[in-house]
Amino acid sequence: MSLITVERKILEKNDEIANLNREKFRFKEMFTMNLVSSPGSGKTSLIEQSINVLKHKLKIGVIEGDVQTNLDAQRIDALGVPVVQIVTNGSCHLDAMLVRDAFQKLIDLDLNLLFIENVGNLVCPAAYDLGEEMKVVIISTTEGDDKPLKYPAIFHNSKALVINKIDLLPHVNCNVDAISKNAYSINSELKIFETSCTTQEGISEWCEYLLSMVK
């Protein structure tokens, strides 16, 4: 019998590539956001709204992650913005290797802002650094105000929280103040936005924030 003492992070390979990604993104002077939410919270809609407001001010690119289909990439492509679709074929999260390979197709475009839309999932994406500058977690008012308490890691690891679909508040049993309170109990430094991609409420505040991050 021999015992070998080791001290190695299980995700060391991912983290190493994520750091290389981050160096590359910074060298390109591009701000990168990793958007994480449950399926159907409005990640793609939020990206579309951001593009509509900012496309004349910033050069934006998008990496889309989905288990199947390139439907999201089609939506972004329709806005005339460069997009790469990653199809994970069942995997529940993006990793740094997938993002590195996808970014090769955007590398020569001199982008200012890159959105990475993760696979819809509040659990696994929290563990994987992609090389982004910040994670943004999005929840919609239809999901209930207890989500931060149920999925604390992603709320802890994000710098901003977008509470989306606030136009539905009259119709759903959701208390936005409770979402904020629960989220702050996990991460007291979260920047919180309330948006509706249908009525555009809150989108200009969100886009001001994006601009301030890029510059």
Partner 1 sequence: MHEVSIAQEIIEIVKDYLPDGNGISVKSVKVDVGDFSNILPEALTFGFEVLTDNSGMKGAELIINKIPLTVNCINCNYISTLDEPLFFCKKCKSPNVEILTGTELKVTEIELND
Q: Which residues bind partner 1 (CB under 8 A)?
A: 1-14, 91-93, 95, 123-124, 126-128, 149, 152-153, 156, 184-188
Collect all residues with Cβ–Cβ distance below 8 Å to 169 and sequence separation of at least 6.
141, 176
Count of CB atoms situated within 10 Å of the CB of 2: 3
Please check whether residue 144 is in contact with residue 174, taking contact to mean a CB–CB distance below 8 angstroms.
yes
Query: Minimum distance from CB of 51 to partner 1 (Å)?
Result: 30
Q: What is the dihedral of CA 169, 173, 177, 183, to 10 degrees?
A: -110
**Residue 38: Cβ within 10 Å count:** 19
CB nearer partner 1, residue 38 or residue 164: 38
Residue 19 or 185: which CB sits closer to partner 1?
185
CB of 120 to partner 1, least distance (A): 14
Nearer to partner 1, 55 or 181 (CB): 181
Q: Work out the burial of residue 97: count CB atoms within 10 Å of its CB; fewer than 13 is exposed, 13-18 middle, 19 or more buried.
A: middle
Give the nearer residue to partner 1 in terms of CB position, either 109 or 149: 149
User: In whole angstroms, how close is the CB of 17 to partner 1 at the nearest point?
Assistant: 13
92, 121 contact by CB (below 8 A): yes
Q: How far is the CB of 83 from partner 1 (least distance, A)?
A: 25
Q: Which of 81, 33, 44 is nearest to 61 (CA)?
A: 81
> Between residues 123 and 168, which has the closer beta carbon with respect to partner 1?
123
Shortest reach from residue 103's CB to partner 1, in Å: 21
The residue to which tokens 């004349």 are assigned: 56
